[in-house]
Amino acid sequence: MPSDRLETLMESIDDFARERDWSRFHAPSLLSMSVSIEAAELMEVFQWMSPTESTDSLANPEIRERLSDEVADVLIYLLRLCSVSGVDPIEAASTKLARNRSRHWDR
Amino acid sequence: MPSDRLETLMESIDDFARERDWSRFHAPSLLSMSVSIEAAELMEVFQWMSPTESTDSLANPEIRERLSDEVADVLIYLLRLCSVSGVDPIEAASTKLARNRSRHWDR
Amino acid sequence: MPSDRLETLMESIDDFARERDWSRFHAPSLLSMSVSIEAAELMEVFQWMSPTESTDSLANPEIRERLSDEVADVLIYLLRLCSVSGVDPIEAASTKLARNRSRHWDR
Amino acid sequence: MPSDRLETLMESIDDFARERDWSRFHAPSLLSMSVSIEAAELMEVFQWMSPTESTDSLANPEIRERLSDEVADVLIYLLRLCSVSGVDPIEAASTKLARNRSRHWDR
């Protein structure tokens, strides 16, 4: 049975944290701080750029690599927060999308 | 063939944006701002809590629902950013984990 | 002797916190979280706007009021953090400006 | 007549930006992004610390210097945003405090 890619990633992240005995640091509040810190670094990739310039910047391999790197950091801490909190990220996002869909029906 | 859950979610998010003609707003810089705004709302769930209090707060169903809701918002904008930028989030995170693993070898 | 406006404001903020017995919450880490949460709300005023649109939006009194309100929140928590940490915000910024000035000499 | 310290600082920041011809980058939305990026760096000083540990960390001169440095960056961008937007930061914060005071009267 082929395993789900996201689930496999979440297990790798949990293993990584466990091997380093980081569980004592990984309280939800501290993980949410780290998600926010990494989200700011992600935003920093496009600091001082207009929206159009940010789109154009993706042609630059160095920008793409920084972007990929910062996306990774946000996702890793977000998934670790989900793991310690018992939140299924895919289900959470699907539920939210479905709710937004019903809300925005008339637009 | 069973499709990947994350891939299915990314397609739903793209459809949602396309149906509302939001593509013109979804430049990488503006999406990174939204990731950061939602990450702050995620952190706000635990505002003024110590790490231990944040762990204990997960017993509260209202907190769990807010947390799930905010995780969803961060993930939705992060995946939309990946989509418009051509970044594979799972590959990005796996690459980062592998690099961190080799870096922290001795610890 | 006319008192300094910033100093007077810092004292009002400290009084406000003291009267409500908030000192036990006002650890540096928790205050820095609140600065970051309020900074995101400030950014939210301009969510989905291009730089030019954000400049134009200042003609709208409602935007100006939201902006003023969010600037206030960031400043209040930042000054409270300075107060509990013994940092003089004006001196810190002046020192930083002077250092940047010497660094960017040739540009 | 002794000039106000904050006003003097705001003028220095404006001069600094003008000398470097940064006005074209200093749209409100881009400045609010920078406030948020710097606020995250401020929070990073206390990453993984409990509230008590963050208080204790202030005894460390290196932490105090990083803190002072990051406070400076947040304040500089916040004041520059005030300048380009015509917001008086002291008045904004005083108004907010007064409103909060009337709101929390009974607590």
Average pLDDT, rounded, for chain D: 93
Residue of A nearest to D26 (CA): A48
pLDDT at A71 > cutoff 70: yes
Pick from A28, A32, A58: which is nearest to B28 by CB? A58
Nearest-angstrom CA–CA distance, B83 and B22? 13
pLDDT band for position C106 (cuts 50, 70, 90): very low
Helix residue ranges per DSSP H, A1-107: 5-19, 28-44, 51-57, 61-85, 89-103
- Which positions in chain C touch B29 (Cβ < 8 Å)? none
pTM beyond 0.80: the answer is yes
pLDDT at A106 > cutoff 50: no
Pick from D37, D41, D47: which is nearest to A47 by CB? D37
- Which positions in chain B touch D53 (Cβ < 8 Å)? none
- Which positions in chain B touch C30 (Cβ < 8 Å)? 47-48
Residue of C nearest to A37 (CA): C36
ipTM above 0.90, yes or no: yes
pLDDT band for position D106 (cuts 50, 70, 90): very low
Q: Considering chain B, what percentage of its residues have pLDDT values greater than 90?
A: 85
Q: A44: distance to nearest CA of chain B, Å?
A: 9
Contact B4 A5 (CB under 8 A): yes
Residue of B nearest to C45 (CA): B37
Contacts 24+ apart (CB under 8 A), A38-41: A38/A70, A38/A73, A38/A74, A38/A77, A39/A74, A39/B32, A39/B35, A39/B36, A39/B39, A39/B74, A39/D40, A40/B36, A40/C36, A40/D36, A40/D37, A40/D39, A40/D40, A40/D41, A41/A70, A41/A73, A41/D37, A41/D40
Question: How many B-D residue pairs are in contact by the CB < 8 A criterion?
Answer: 9
Q: B62: distance to nearest CA of chain D, Å?
A: 24
Nearest-angstrom CA–CA distance, C25 and C28? 9
